[in-house]
Amino acid sequence: MLAVKSGKVVIGSKETLDAVRTGRAKMVVIASNCPPDIRSDIEHYAKLSGTPIFVYPGTSYALGEACEKPYRIAAMAIREPGDSDVLKLVEGYHGEQD
């Protein structure tokens, strides 16, 4: 994931939640198997702050691999996309989730 290499990201559910609460996240990426309690907390604060959420279609293991990390990633926040087009995944976002 180019955003991890060239941009600024926060990895981990606690760190992601903090970034969303403080308005430092431009976008949140959640693995498809993110634990329900963590996911609902992140979704709640993302909705309050107007931060778009992208649900990664793979597991936390796959998200970790996509970010070239040797561990699972249940959630991450994009603070600066860098050279990536990751924010286009949620282009047209207007604060509503399916």
Give the model confidence (pLDDT) of 15-62 as tens digits.
Answer: 999 999 999 999 999 999 999 999 999 999 999 999 999 999 999 999
Residue 91 lies in a domain: no
Domain residues for 6? 2-85
The answer as to whether 32 is a domain residue is yes
Residue 48 maps to a domain: yes
pLDDT of residue 12: 93
The secondary element (H helix, E strand) that includes residue 31 is strand 27-31
Report the length, in residues, of the chain.
98
Instruction: Classify residue 93: in a domain, yes or no.
Output: no
Neighbouring residues of 1: CB distance < 8 A, sequence distance ≥ 6 = 66, 67, 68, 84, 86
Query: Of the ranges 8-12, 44-48, 91-95, which one carries the lowest mean pLDDT score?
Result: 91-95
The answer to the question of residue 73 being in a domain is yes
Comparing CA positions, the residue from 84, 59, 60, 58 lying closest to residue 71 is: 60
Per-residue tokens: 25: 């996240």
For the chain, the domain total comes to 1
Question: Is residue 94 assigned to a domain?
Answer: no
CATH number at residue 48: 3.30.1330.30
